[in-house]
């Protein structure tokens, strides 16, 4: 198994060194915050900043400098939004550095899903943390000026007071909300969590992918309607461009017919448990918000689909099958996959890819399979045929609110046997890419990601720069 396990990206030397610096500085940043030394903390925070994209404004243009609190996917969104704007310089600092600051002030039970309805003492500690951040930023600004700060979720506990502190200083703090897809069940669940556990957004603006997230934020009361903007998913712009380039060149995926399968779990878009975090050491536990939801899940769908992928590989050895795990799953998780499939070793025509962005994989294959995944929307934007399993729990009435419905933009397999047949058939068709997308695909992309035009990055850029101009 291990020889067919590959990582989606290698770790370059600068990445390894950067992580080493972060791990060294974080305890020192914590110590400075614990001792209430904002000047020293500012010095260390400045040392941990990395330049992702320098500002190179043309003559007569004014440079703007943006600090990103780095997080996978959000970094991709930001770079996709500003890559063609010479005026914008993008720097990043690890979110672990900000967490190190927060640990010196906030109690362990104040986290993403438990930030409001706290004791008077906890509220006082949060206010002290904000005052410290104001003092820190004033010192940081003397040596390294930033016009705006971006992050990937309004609820990150370590950043809640930072958002408020920057607003006090007139620095726009905006969110590119990466957890933006909300099916009907998710909307009900997260509206309650936002309202009762996360509380109001203290920054400037929230940029969301689509209406489903915007409606939850407004209904929960965490942000005024005029401060939340639909922009679409910026990193999807790259997929649109790649599809158009491939269509213009008349190229398609080389090699044998390829099937890309995105693994999914029994709780995909099924809000049963939420994670509570304590700080240092990072221990995790999960809390049941609604015990009635515990029994819900895609257990049979997962098992039957993964066995179908194994059957596909055995029956059709000419197919090249890639299994993309969700997140950075370990080798132990791949062994569990083999066990679920009922095999000691995956077939020779199967490889497993761990971690990284799925976008490069999309154009290496001829058909894509998955369930309740943003990656399927990226596959549609790439112009790939998509097959979705629609059997087992996916047919049950009580599970319908938890479906991310892709309507008639995809094909549905009503059984594992039909899934095998459809994937083999579509892979062998080797359909060429098209510059334009079918109306059904356009409708689905706009519904969930508000990006069928490849211009989401422009909308994010305009929104961020407008806040800088109006500060």
Residue 263: band (very low, low, confident or very high) from pLDDT cuts 50, 70, 90: very high
Is residue 380 predicted with pLDDT exceeding 60? Answer: yes
Q: Give the tokens for residue 198.
A: 């996360």
- DSSP, res 453: S
Kindly report the CATH number assigned to the domain that includes residue 312. 3.40.50.2000
Is residue 15 predicted with pLDDT exceeding 60? Answer: no
Reported as type and span, the H/E element at residue 367 is strand 367-369
Same domain for 44 and 157: yes
Residue closest to 386 by CA, chosen among 262, 289, 211, 280: 262
Reported as type and span, the H/E element at residue 62 is none
pLDDT at 11: 45
- Residue with the larger pLDDT of the pair 359 and 39: 39
Same domain for 370 and 246: yes
Kindly report the CATH number assigned to the domain that includes residue 122. 3.40.50
Our count of domains for the chain comes to 2
Give me the residues paired with residue 260 across strands. Answer: 322, 368
Same domain for 251 and 384: yes
For the chain, the average pLDDT equals 89
Is residue 3 predicted with pLDDT exceeding 50? Answer: no
Same domain for 203 and 299: no
Is 234:454 a contact under the CB 8 Å cutoff? no
Residues 6+ apart with CB under 8 A from 377: 236, 406, 444, 445, 448, 449
Same domain for 40 and 106: yes
Is residue 210 predicted with pLDDT exceeding 50? Answer: yes
E strand map for 280-404:
284-288, 320-324, 350-354, 367-369, 386-389
DSSP structure string for 145-158: --SEEEES-TT-GG
- Rounded to the nearest 5 percent, the helix, strand and coil shares of the chain are 50, 15, 35
Same domain for 221 and 305: no
Give the domain range for residue 356.
238-448
Is residue 240 predicted with pLDDT exceeding 70? Answer: yes
Same domain for 184 and 45: yes
Same domain for 301 and 222: no
Same domain for 113 and 60: yes
Same domain for 460 and 441: no
Same domain for 257 and 215: no
Is residue 200 predicted with pLDDT exceeding 50? Answer: yes
Lowest-confidence pick of 89-103, 155-169, 335-349: 335-349
- DSSP, res 2: G
Q: Is 301 left (phi over 0), alpha (psi -120 to 50) or beta?
A: alpha
Q: Rounded to an integer, what distance in angstroms lies between the CA atom of residue 222 and that of residue 200?
A: 4
- The mean pLDDT value for 249-269 works out to 88
Same domain for 354 and 280: yes
Is residue 462 predicted with pLDDT exceeding 70? Answer: yes
Q: Rounded to an integer, what distance in angstroms lies between the CA atom of residue 335 and that of residue 345?
A: 9
């Amino acid at each position: 198994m291990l020889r067919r396990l590959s990582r989606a990206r290698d770790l370059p030397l600068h990445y390894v060194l950067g992580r080493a610096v972060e791990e060294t500085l974080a305890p020192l940043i914590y110590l400075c915050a614990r001792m209430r030394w904002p000047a020293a903390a500012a010095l260390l925070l400045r040392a941990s900043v990395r330049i992702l994209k320098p500002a190179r404004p043309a003559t007569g243009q004014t440079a703007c400098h943006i600090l990103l609190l780095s997080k996978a996917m959000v970094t991709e969104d930001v770079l996709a939004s500003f890559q063609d704007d010479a005026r914008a310089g993008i720097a990043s600092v690890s979110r672990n550095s900000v967490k190190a600051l927060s640990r010196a002030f906030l109690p362990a039970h104040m986290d993403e899903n438990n930030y409001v309805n706290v004791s008077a003492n906890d509220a006082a500690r949060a206010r002290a943390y904000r005052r410290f951040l104001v003092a820190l930023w004033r010192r940081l600004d003397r040596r390294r000026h930033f016009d705006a700060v971006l992050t990937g979720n309004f609820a990150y506990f370590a950043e809640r007071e930072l958002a408020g502190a920057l607003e006090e200083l007139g620095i726009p703090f905006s969110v590119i909300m990466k957890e933006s897809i909300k099916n009907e069940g998710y909307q009900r669940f997260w509206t309650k969590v936002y309202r009762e556990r996360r509380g109001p957004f203290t920054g400037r603006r929230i940029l969301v992918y689509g209406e489903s997230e915007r409606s939850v934020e407004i209904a929960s009361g965490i942000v005024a309607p005029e401060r939340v903007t639909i922009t679409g998913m910026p990193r999807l712009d790259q997929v649109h461009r790649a599809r158009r380039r491939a269509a213009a060149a008349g190229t398609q995926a080389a090699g044998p017919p390829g099937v890309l399968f995105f693994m999914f779990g029994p709780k995909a878009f099924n809000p049963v448990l939420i994670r509570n975090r304590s700080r240092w050491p990072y221990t995790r536990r999960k809390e049941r918000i609604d015990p009635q939801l515990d029994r819900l899940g895609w257990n049979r769908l997962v098992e039957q689909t993964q066995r179908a992928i194994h059957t596909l590989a055995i029956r059709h050895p000419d197919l090249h099958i890639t299994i993309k795990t969700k997140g950075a799953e370990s080798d132990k998780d791949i062994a569990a996959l083999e066990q679920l499939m009922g095999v000691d070793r995956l077939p020779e025509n199967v490889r497993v890819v761990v971690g990284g962005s799925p976008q490069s994989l999309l154009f290496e294959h001829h058909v894509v399979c998955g369930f309740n995944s943003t990656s399927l929307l990226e596959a549609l934007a790439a112009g790939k045929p998509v097959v979705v399993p629609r059997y087992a729990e996916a047919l049950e009435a009580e599970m319908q609110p938890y479906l991310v419905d892709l309507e008639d933009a995809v094909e549905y397999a009503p059984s594992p046997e039909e899934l095998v047949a459809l994937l083999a058939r579509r892979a062998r068709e080797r359909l060429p890419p098209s510059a334009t997308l079918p109306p059904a695909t356009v409708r689905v992309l706009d519904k969930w990601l508000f990006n069928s035009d490849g211009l989401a990055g422009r909308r994010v850029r305009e929104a961020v720069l407008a806040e800088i101009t109006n500060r």
